[in-house]
Homo-oligomer: A and B are copies of this chain.
């Protein structure tokens, strides 16, 4: 049913923040990737999309879900330099990996942004554990539905035995731990 879904195009990253080594979609295979293309001076990104991505980073098991920012600067290039981005990530306490999209040949839209034919920022990307692009959305996705869609892809990966340890194995997800669980009526 999903055999015809194409692989997500690889990212072209000039430089990484919050990651000791470069990240590639190929290297992230086996994990669900939640990517947010943003610009540090885009109000909707700062107020909504990046706090949401931080919640994904904090709320899901990082062995199963990778939260990653892409700095896709297509305007005000002189303002949104890597040194400015570094200060921004520090001041806003954003700890997930952020890659700087490679500048385009004409100084306009950067390479990865163009490759995905994005319409603007923020743009959400959901990539499954097999590396296929499953969702691309310009604008806001409500938390409730985003959480559901991420878990759908995690469950698929578990079903395929792609997750670390296989299936719903020994590793408890952070998501399940986030609220006190109950197996019977007596717990609270």
Enumerate chain A interface residues (CB-CB to B < 8 A): 1-2, 4-6, 8-9, 41-43, 46-47, 52, 55-56, 59-60, 75-76, 78-81, 83-84, 86-88, 90-92, 115-119, 124, 132-138, 141-152, 154-155, 159, 168, 175-176, 178-188
Complex Cα spacing A132 to B134, Å: 31
- Of B133, B144, B152, the residue contacting A59 (CB under 8 A) is B144
Q: Are B6 and A185 in contact (CB under 8 A)?
A: yes
Determine how close the nearest CB of chain B comes to the CB of A42; give it in whole angstroms: 7
Closest 4 CB pairs of A and B: A147-B147, A6-B184, A143-B143, A76-B87
Known: A145-B59, A147-B144, A149-B175. A91 touches B115 (CB 8 A): no
Q: Are B143 and A43 in contact (CB under 8 A)?
A: no
- Of B9, B76, B151, B159, the residue contacting A151 (CB under 8 A) is B151
Q: What residues of B have a CB within 8 angstroms of the CB of A59 in the complex?
A: 142, 144-145, 148
**What is the total number of copies of this protein in its complex?**
4
Q: Are B141 and A143 in contact (CB under 8 A)?
A: no
Determine how close the nearest CB of chain B comes to the CB of A162; give it in whole angstroms: 15
Complex Cα spacing A182 to B7, Å: 11
Enumerate 6 A-B pairs (CB-CB under 8 Å) in ascending A order. Answer: A59-B144, A78-B83, A79-B87, A118-B188, A124-B179, A136-B182
Q: Are B137 and A179 in contact (CB under 8 A)?
A: yes
Complex Cα spacing A94 to B149, Å: 25
Determine how close the nearest CB of chain B comes to the CB of A49; give it in whole angstroms: 13
Q: What residues of B have a CB within 8 angstroms of the CB of A134 in the complex?
A: 181-183
- Of B55, B90, B151, the residue contacting A149 (CB under 8 A) is B151
